[in-house]
Amino acid sequence: MIYIILISCFIVRALPRIVLKNVYISDTYFHLYCAKVIRENSFRVPTKLPNVILNHEYTYPFGYHLFLAFFPIKYRLWIERFSGAFFDTISAVIIYLFVTWIVQGNSLIQFTGLPILVTALFSFSPGLLRIAWGPRAYNGSPRVAGQTLYLIHITAAYYALTTKSMTALIVSIISGAMAIITTKFGNQVLIFFGLFFTVFIYYFYPAIVIGSLLLSIALSKGRALHIITGQVKHSVFYVKYLQRVFIWSHLECITDYFRKLATNGWNLLRCNKVSEAGRWYYTERYFLHILVTVYPQFLMLLPLIGQYRQMLHVEQFFLVWMAAGLFFFFITKLKWVLFLGEGERYLEYSLLPSLFLAANYFLEFNKSIVYGFLIYSIVSAFYYVGECLICYGKNNSDYKKTDFVFKQFNNMPSGVVWPIGSFHYQALYRSNFPVLSHGGNVDERLISSDEFMLVYGNYPYPSGNFEKIIGKYNVSYIISNKSSVEYYAEKIVKRPDDFYNSRIIIQNMKNQLKTIK
């Protein structure tokens, strides 16, 4: 049964990329570009990314990029397609082994299938397969690799502190060090969740985190410090200038959510626009909707807190871990704390404890609830696979056309490329020219807020002052597509004729090169 679950875990993530080979999102192009640069630099991590116009330092965690760089381009693209499936499956294996050790060592319940059930719930978890943001599971990303590294780190740490195993302690420190140089979000989790573990579980847990930090600095020859400081500086810049402009205007209030809930609920009752209601249900991003429909097991946290003193130590550990995830989920929904990232990701990092406690609790009192949630998760997983195939099918079919256009484009005279829309990293990866973009993290010492807002004033679109952008950076080309150019000209510039008369060569991603006069 466990082999069937693990194979299924891999397949539901790999299937969309087996069918849709050439589906790349913006962040994927960035990771592939960094891997390409590292390989071409004889596997040395550069201080700056070539062809990036805006002043920057390459302080983004490089672990996943270095991992990709070890593979030649042909195999690198295969790794990108299936790395999400691979790392999630590794996480499933770790969960099965860890829960098996817990059940055997603590005799929690008589249900010997608990490890298989928790592993199955993780493998089909809607939180890991949703495509409303990401898609997380179907594209290569440090995000999934970082979650696997953190899972190894924290489970090995608990095993080491419980059994006094030196081997587990070394594994925990090494995996923590690898997480630091691989994932931005994992660094935040390492610190924030660590506060909870230190206060409620083991007061000397920070020694393990410090050990991981020192090892990461040693292994990276000091680059780990640049990663951390770069992340802090980017967060400061985000707080001061960016979140007010880029996020606050898109926040959804509860009245808007209930209006959509009523509309879609009424359509469902009338059997009208059922598919539309289903799509809304599975993609709505309002945080309470996500909590109820994707992570309902976290709603049982409060009743479990009342039983804290009667719990076994491992259950207390899981409850504290689960509480940390839920706490930061809610905290990051406050306007001034949005810079700490999507709150849903903290719940992803807390899936193991939440699923374990829910399964263990309901198997004792009401088995139908936990099995019902498993069926719900499996059905949802198939829905997400189908939706992924539909949503990204056109992206895949257009890839060869755009590849041909880029090959033509690269034969043109060299000049600065100005991406309009979500094409910055694609332009870096697929063209040979300098690109008006930044290098991942933003550092106020290297780029002012005025310059950033000039180029990214309507992120991912630029400000409406296109004349200044063209003149300041000596722009020769624009890379975009028809709809993005029209949106920019009509909604942001608001003077389409002035923009179209600027005599810039437009790279039309959908059709062919053409000059706008």
CB 23 within 8 A of CB 84: no
User: What are the helix and strand counts (H, E) for the chain?
Assistant: 27, 4
**Per-residue pLDDT tens digits for 55-93:** 999 999 999 999 999 999 989 999 999 999 999 999 999
Q: What is the pTM of this model?
A: 0.92
Q: Which pLDDT score, from 0 to 100, does residue 275 have?
A: 85
Q: Which pLDDT score, from 0 to 100, does residue 483 have?
A: 87
SS3 479: strand
Q: Which pLDDT score, from 0 to 100, does residue 176 have?
A: 97
pLDDT at 516 > cutoff 60: no
pLDDT at 513 > cutoff 80: no
- Of the ranges 320-324, 365-369, 501-505, the best mean pLDDT one: 320-324
pLDDT band at 128 (very low <50, low <70, confident <90, very high): very high
* CB-neighbour burial class of residue 110 (10 A; exposed 0-12, middle 13-18, buried 19+): exposed
Residue 458 DSSP code = B
Comparing 180-189, 252-261, 288-297, 429-438, which segment has the lowest mean pLDDT?
252-261
Q: Which pLDDT score, from 0 to 100, does residue 449 have?
A: 86
pLDDT at 354 > cutoff 90: yes
Average pLDDT over all residues of the chain: 88
pLDDT at 368 > cutoff 50: yes
pLDDT at 514 > cutoff 60: no
Q: Which pLDDT score, from 0 to 100, does residue 11 have?
A: 95
**Per-residue pLDDT tens digits for 91-109:** 999 999 999 999 887 766 5
Q: Which pLDDT score, from 0 to 100, does residue 38 have?
A: 96
Longest alpha-carbon distance in the chain: 76
Interatomic CA distance for residues 195 and 199, integer angstroms: 6
Interatomic CA distance for residues 230 and 184, integer angstroms: 10
pLDDT at 396 > cutoff 90: no
Residues of the chain with pLDDT > 70, as a percent, come to 94
